[in-house]
Structure 1
Amino acid sequence: MLRLAAVLLGLVLLAGYIGAQSWEATRVLQDIEAGAGPSTLKDRTPEPARETLTLETDGGDIAADLYHPRQDVGARIVLVPGFTPQGKDDRRLVQLANTLARARFLVLVPDLQGTKDLRVRHEDASAIRDAAALLARLEVERAADEQDVGVAAISYAVGLAVLATLTPEGEDAIDFLVGIGGYYDTENVITFSTTGAYREPGSDRWQMRTPDPLAKWIFLRGNLHMLDNREDREILDEIAHRRMADPNAPITDVADDLGDAGRSLLALILNDDQERVPKLLEDLPASAREAIEMLSLADRDLSHLSRGAILIHGRADAMIPHTESERLARAIGETDLHLIHGFSHIDPQGVGFIGQWQLVRAVMDLIARRSN
């Protein structure tokens, strides 16, 4: 009986410890869900200060917003959005940056051109690297001179964030990575977005899930720069706009004017047979194939991110399958991988009790990156 009492007492104390550790993470998640509305985190922390800096990059100077928590800074983080025409001023992005600042992160949000143009640009990886280097050397109030610097990226930007670490400068500046709904192999992403087919790591068996109907058109618009012919780019942009507004919109009236390169890319987008994807990729012009391969993380040495990566992916994600974050985690090595039930591409709606607890654990891992 004494032994049982000791075990029960230990469980009670453990439950209290877990509750104390998870409560801040719960407040952070509640603040994200509240957006600009009231929350406990807002009640308990000062309003973060926001100022715009000039970030020097290889492609020229760009603007970047710095969010200071106006309390002791625990770590620093570059926040990289997915596609949004508003760039760093996107309302949801501003709210997320403020939440991270309230959680005592010094947050820098670069205004990436690819983000605003809805394009996946390899050169934006260099801008992310430069943003991390700037954030690391900034001298600000209530922050130690040397603190961990991370990059938090969403969707397609996760690949760019990883690519940012693949130079000596990037590896030196970036201490940890937070990837939400990211990818590993661009061929897998194309296969899923066009056909709904995906495979678990190490398996040859195809599984099916209905992809977001916008996914393949977003991919098309984001990669039109791969084509050299301006007329092809304009026609495909028109096709993407039509099908994003109406999945059944007629397109033959403009598709008939495409050149060979444009036709090959459209054929890839319209294909619904996963077995044909490799051949359709081969049929693309060399510039397009090279651009797709350049953005892929497959077959790269990512071991330098081991013990410094937090990967979050919804099991119901309809834009990029969760198996991509699993593959990315395997390639990195020791990783905090969180596959969230009911969570679909940074959409918290429909997340049940299990999913909520999984999200709390993910945020706890992020909070643990703070030094104080």
Structure 2
Amino acid sequence: MWGGNRRWLTLVLAGLVTIVVITVIGAVTTRGPDDEQTTPAATTGSPSTSPSPSPSPSPPPGADITGPLNLLLVGIDTRVSVPGWEPHADAVLILHVPAGLSEAYLFSLPRDLVVDIPAFEPAGYRGGRTKLTNAMSYGSRVPDRPKRPDPAQGYDLLSQVVSDYTGLRIDAGAVLTFGGFDKLVDSLGGVDIEVDQRVVSRHRQPDGKHRSPGPGVGGYTGPQMVYEPGDRHLNGWQALDYARQRYLPGGDYTRQRHQQQLIRALVGKILDADLARQPERVEQVVAALGDMLVYVGGRRIVDFAYALGGLSPEAITLVGLPGAAVGRGGSYRGEELTQVGRRFLTELRAGRVDAFLADNPKLKVP
């Protein structure tokens, strides 16, 4: 659990850590450094002695997983310092892996997307039409212990809402709190990313210290860290800080793009580091994760690890879905996807997404 000035962390952490766990760490914990199958040398014996037949190797975990797969990645805004605070889905990412498991598409849904949330008996919620982020909050309520919300239960309702909205079956996913993310990045020696626009931090000073609270709602005072455009090497706190900024041209949609770019960059760093051959490095990553991952799924993480182990960063297409604010008069109600954004989901379900993205190249995040 975590709180204080880290409470506004974004889903990039959820997506990043979940992908790392599924595609790298889970596989390493069972595969080990010598995973290639080799044919045993023939046993030398007398002409009358036949070598004992070698037992047939057991299929690897997840060998029956062929796709398509949809993984729901949820980062939650928790404020442990506030009694009874309910977790919010700070943002939502979906990793769609078509049949064959050789490529994937990563896209975000706006946290303020206006959706229909069904009644949910475990939380005593009666249902309504509101923002997507609230599905986590309402679903996490535990009637007989109001000050101890259950994020895993909140995930159940949120995943149902996401499935209803997108038309995609959700196979597994994760809810994350974010303490230790900077340690995860630092354990890998930082991450290289191309900063695509000037980003001024609301939360950190150039030396990494948190800025002091200031006047107004969410205000801060003091010098600000600035991320200038270009190729940059970011350490843990810088990567975390860069990905959480949303007071930029494009608002939360820009933040979603930065989240996805950071996910791809760090997954690439992990694969380039050949962690599967360095058990001691895997232990460092696992230690950095700590207890911030709550995995939810009908299959073990290791099953997905083997199934998705062939993915590379180049095979993950980042997609930014356009949206617009909705409301009445001057009252902001939330966000909705544009017709193009909704059409993406239709084409994804139908298996025609490559042709659709070729006709709509602006949806692809560089």
TM-score under structure 2 normalisation? 0.22
Structure that is richer in helix per residue = 1
Structure that is richer in strand per residue = 2
Bigger RCO (CA 8 Å, 6+ sep) = 2
TM-score under structure 1 normalisation? 0.22
